[in-house]
Structure 1
């Protein structure tokens, strides 16, 4: 008989202590291969597919979709052949929160599934014999056809594929309330989208909705509270003419090297921030309270705030100061797409040094953001609007925006913050050869 080994939830990222089971990809009794994804776990940073550490059978699942599991707590039990010695080491590593890539090599013999199937068939008791039918009185035929009986209400979890479950979760749709149209009662993507488009029922007097605080929302709340009550925030604003930036965007779109990348105002804002960091390196620093030091970072790990169905996330581009303008455009696009798909890797969410948030896409002029933990500055980019502006001594319609810079006042004085923001504005007002040459 194969040995049953309990697999505990490993550490899926830096500092993560728990994860929510999003969807099981393998049913109990189903066979799995080594490194085959068997469950999706949503952490505070991303939705992660956890690979199987064994080749064998998924014997038991210790959590249901929506349950929160602590790192090091039982997640699933596998039945595996020929791993008596290795199982002990693997289970110990899993209980200590080791990462799943360390589990490579714990496979089972190829003929194990057939043996397990025979054992399960032998161990299954025969079904009970049917009771003899009870004679009932003969009823004369009724000419009026009987009304059809209502179909029984579905019980248990709804049938849906993992991508459909994720879509329903992102849209806030309870799969149990969706009428399935797929084969064998499966809820399809179209069913979920139709349920999302349906008008919501009017709430009754005094009605309310309670949403559990977990996942990205929980992590964001904890980080923002910690940042707001640790770093003394200060904010400066600058309204500036960015007609030159908008003209530069049109010029870049016509260049052949930008054919396969999306050119947006965020690209040139990011470039302006990187150039201003080169001139003012103290902006790209961190206040280390425990060491009593100001740590000036040589690499600019540029964070890009992205609004996703799961909440706000701020992944960052590592060492962005070394990228060409083309590579920077590709990195921004890839970062945002991955974040919106919920597939951002934990490593991309840590180590940021300075960030940009674009509130202009929502038609907002500016704001006063809270610093991401560990960072000392965040730039706010507002909406670009045509407005009357004094240009070369005359009033003309120009493209105007408002920039904001929130910073940690412990290490960034108002003078430094103002000079940094003014340089960003100057770069955007007249990109010229300095900005466009960096392609």
Structure 2
């Protein structure tokens, strides 16, 4: 006999209590297979696609897109016929399922099939179901469309399989006139209210905790980085870097990693319970990234083991993944020290707030051509300002100063970087 299985929003393994439903990827009446993606949700850490733990027919969606769903709450009902597949170890409805580890790999040849008629048993729980002719699009494209208020059904799709691509979305936005306020606009029309949730909510809470928990100290140094810029140009012309995007940030990151060898306390955290300073031997280098979903700090695991080319590739992959909204929870966990590059916005310096649980964050400002004393004369040089915020419980003024000075020295004389790498 057919039975209806209720899938509860699973524990995403992050200790989080809820998630925002970004998009449904199925509708009532659809036939789904094991591990087929059914929805995209956003936690306080990352965007996650949920696979179905059941094979059968969707009979109910328990939440509307854009709403927050508590972990353990009913999420979707699936009607299964006959015996439940043995490969499905999903827990029963009365217990909260765990996202990691349920279901089996889906046959790559399987495809989503849509039922054109719904049975009398189908329930909708007063939640509007997605339109049956919903256009194809990847989760990042759907999220971008939602953020900019674009109806994907109005976008001309040029993807290989008929899907709406990011370029399609951008072309549509460029071609759509921006509405202008009318004379009958209400007094409230001159303001916009943005709900604080998901990544932005988590970031705000984390920054407040950090600012009021760790005693911040920020120091600055201005450096002539002309030799680093010249080295950058030489490296780009070699066969080792012709196919990768080498930027000044890569050399700053490498300088930081080298400076940590003689200043290991900067790669540590404060264990409140044990009242101990824990110095980490491995360096998981975080890079603050501005994304459509807010500020995120994914990190490169074991960055201290990477050569310059591999570090360049890792940085490029990290920023591309973040901008596409594909950063996962594992990419955001266990960072040990962070770099924030405000120079890309034309900013000279800043006093960054520590990423929670870390001892230091380096701020890399804009590189500008300006008059500078060089070999006893005034010359036009490439100059930047570096600032370092650190937790004064873990790092005293001498340690922080030596670390920042070491990074500056390496960037002003990159032969040191080559010698010590």
Report the CA distance between 1:187 and its aligned residue. Answer: 11
Comparing 98-107 with 63-72, greater Cα deviation is found at 98-107
Comparing 16-25 with 279-288, greater Cα deviation is found at 16-25
Q: Measured at CA, do residues 94 and 435 of structure 1 come closer, stay the same or move farther in structure 2, by a change above 3 Å?
A: farther
User: Alignment length, in residue pairs?
Assistant: 397
Report the CA distance between 1:415 and its aligned residue. Answer: 1.1
Q: Please list the CA deviations of residues 283-328 of structure 1 after superposition, one character each: whole Å capped at 9, or x if unmatched.
A: 0000011111111000010000111111110000011000111110
- For 2:378, the equivalent position in structure 1 comes to 395
Residue segments in structure 1 that go unaligned for 5+ positions in a row: 125-154
- For 2:407, the equivalent position in structure 1 comes to 424
Q: Is the 8 A contact 2:28 2:129 kept in 1?
A: no
Q: Give the 5 Å matches for 1:48-87.
A: 48-83=48-83
- For 2:101, the equivalent position in structure 1 comes to 101
Q: Please list the CA deviations of residues 92-118 of structure 1 after superposition, one character each: whole Å capped at 9, or x if unmatched.
A: 4883351243233899xx9xx9xx999
**What TM-score do you get using the length of structure 2 for normalisation?**
0.86
Q: Give the 5 Å matches for 1:276-287.
A: 276-287=259-270
> Which of 345, 364, 379 does residue 362 from structure 2 map onto?
379
SS in 2 for 1:209: coil
Residue segments in structure 2 that go unaligned for 5+ positions in a row: 123-127
Greater Rg over alpha carbons, structure: 1
- For 1:31, the equivalent position in structure 2 comes to 31
Give the root-mean-square deviation of aligned CA atoms: 3.2
Q: Is the 8 A contact 2:245 2:312 kept in 1?
A: yes
- Hey, what's the Cα distance between the residues in 2 that align with 1:409 and 1:83? 61
- For 1:167, the equivalent position in structure 2 comes to 144
Q: Is the 8 A contact 1:55 1:106 kept in 2?
A: no
- For 1:15, the equivalent position in structure 2 comes to 15
- For 1:238, the equivalent position in structure 2 comes to 221
Q: Measured at CA, do residues 21 and 206 of structure 1 come closer, stay the same or move farther in structure 2, by a change above 3 Å?
A: closer
> Where is the helix percentage greater, Structure 1 or Structure 2?
1
**What TM-score do you get using the length of structure 1 for normalisation?**
0.82
Q: Is the 8 A contact 2:144 2:292 kept in 1?
A: no
Report the CA distance between 1:259 and its aligned residue. Answer: 2.0
Q: Is the 8 A contact 2:37 2:52 kept in 1?
A: yes
Q: Measured at CA, do residues 188 and 299 of structure 1 come closer, stay the same or move farther in structure 2, by a change above 3 Å?
A: closer
- For 1:201, the equivalent position in structure 2 comes to 180
- Hey, what's the Cα distance between the residues in 1 that align with 2:44 and 2:118? 41
- Hey, what's the Cα distance between the residues in 2 that align with 1:181 and 1:359? 34
- Hey, what's the Cα distance between the residues in 2 that align with 1:244 and 1:297? 31
Comparing 220-229 with 356-365, greater Cα deviation is found at 220-229
